[in-house]
Amino acid sequence: MDLVVTATRASLITVRQTRLVSLEDELGAKAARTLELLKHRQNLRDALQLTLALLRFLLAGIVLDFLIPTSQGSASAINLGGLVAVGFAIWLAEFFVERHVLKDPERWALRLSGVARVVNTLMYPILFVLTRLSAQEPNAAQMETITEDELKSFVDASEQQGVLEQDEHEMIMSIVELGDTLVREVMVPRIDVFALDVDTPLEEARNAIVESGYSRIPVYEDTVDNILGLLYIKDILKVWGANPPAPSLRQLLRQPYMVPESKKLNELLAEMQGTRIHMAIVVDEYGGVAGLVTLEDIVEEIVGEIQDETDLGEEQPFQKISEDEYLFPGRISLAEFNEIMDADLSTENADTLGGFLFSELGRLPRAGEQVKQDGILFTVELINSRRIRRVRAVRTTRTVAEEEQDAQA
């Protein structure tokens, strides 16, 4: 009985509901009953676990009764070796049963759904009492951590088993990790922000927006740190050619949405969805403008780069020359660089590759200047307006992981 319940638990806890749904037309009522059980998977898991505990307790009592001699009216010492052997045999049997069931959990779930219903019914009163006695809300932070760790493990296992494709795995993990990513890691930095002065004539503003390809433009007064609002191209088009003449740029501005650069992306995404905004101005701890972030920037963190007709002229994230040689834009994040090059550059003093080279040299590099760090030779390829635009990175030594792989081959 212990092995039957073990097989039932293994099959019903790991079975894929999508697979059962696809079998429902073929198998009819049996698949429907199994799907009904899985609607309360947590209760089912608890019932099966409790049943296993009771069966093992009963089995232990039987074994102890057999191993404790009662001759001459006095109990002798427990045959510890025999008890250990029996326990190991039970564990080994359960292990092989679970391994066998996990090869085809859907088939076994359908076969053992009747056992699961009986167990669920018998254990319900006991579980009801235990649940009421232990009714205590778990710590919210603990629940979040446990849930995230369990989800990551489940997603990793699903990819290894072929349930998820690699791109699906990466997308789900990106969503899970969205709460660990800060706005400053994905924002367009201040120096790259396209903005207009509030005194710009309306026609000139319209032409600049059309040429830029953007639909929303920050508008400032005196300096970029003083953002007055956002200009939507559709608002200009509404008043273009109007009679009386179109109003000034200032009258067309919409209220800007300001967020700190330390805000987490999942929080900002929820706010953007709730307020139906597509752009936010990012401010630093001193109140100055650090950059801007759009809804597209956040979505790209989940699904990867989204290329449209306005992105054709943008510099590409990186270019692979050979297995050990790459060309990178200076603005690529160190986190992304480390992942691509399997490197471990410190992110304490800089967020981008260009910033890292500035930090290493302590001054503005010259074109052609080289820096060697972490087994990688960096060559500054292009400098423009005091910014490192392009960097060549050549791996000069093999990584520890690659050497270990070669040693095992």
Stretch 172-198: mean pLDDT? 85
If you average pLDDT over each of 37-51, 151-165, 294-308, 315-329, which comes out highest?
A: 315-329
187 in the same domain as 175: no
131 in the same domain as 34: yes
The 10s digit of each residue's pLDDT in 57-68 is 777 667 666 666
257 in the same domain as 358: no
Domain boundaries, position 340: 319-408
245 in the same domain as 165: no
301 in the same domain as 358: no
The last residue of one of the domains, among 128, 155, 180, is: 180
Q: Residue 8: exposed, middle, or buried by beta-carbon count in 10 A (0-12, 13-18, 19+)? A: buried
Give the C-alpha separation, 371 to 131, whole Å: 62
29 in the same domain as 148: no
If you average pLDDT over each of 86-90, 163-167, 186-190, 345-349, which comes out highest?
A: 186-190
Stretch 12-19: mean pLDDT? 62
Q: Using the structure block, give the residue that is written with the tokens 């990790």.
A: 177
Residue 74 has pLDDT above 60, yes or no: no
CATH at residue 206: 3.10.580.10
User: Which residues are CB-neighbours of 180 under 8 A, at least 6 positions away?
Assistant: 264
119 in the same domain as 201: no
169 in the same domain as 47: no
What per-residue confidence (pLDDT) applies to 220? 94
Is residue 70 classed as helix, strand or coil in its secondary structure? coil
pTM, two decimal places: 0.54
What per-residue confidence (pLDDT) applies to 73? 43
233 in the same domain as 172: no
Comparing 400 with 273, the larger pLDDT belongs to 273
Look at residues 375, 380, 389 and name the one whose alpha carbon lies nearest to residue 324. 375
267 in the same domain as 241: yes
165 in the same domain as 192: no
What per-residue confidence (pLDDT) applies to 394? 92
Helix-helix angle 29-38:41-67, to 10 degrees: 90
88 in the same domain as 39: yes
Give the C-alpha separation, 216 to 236, whole Å: 11
* Residue 300 Cα distances to 181, 190, 265, 307, angstroms: 13, 19, 12, 10
The 10s digit of each residue's pLDDT in 92-149 is 777 777 777 677 766 667 677 777 777 777 777 777 777 676 655 445 444 444 456 6
Comparing 367 with 27, the larger pLDDT belongs to 367
The last residue of one of the domains, among 268, 294, 311, is: 311
The last residue of one of the domains, among 76, 101, 136, is: 136
Comparing 203 with 83, the larger pLDDT belongs to 203
Stretch 151-163: mean pLDDT? 72
**Domains: count for the chain:** 4
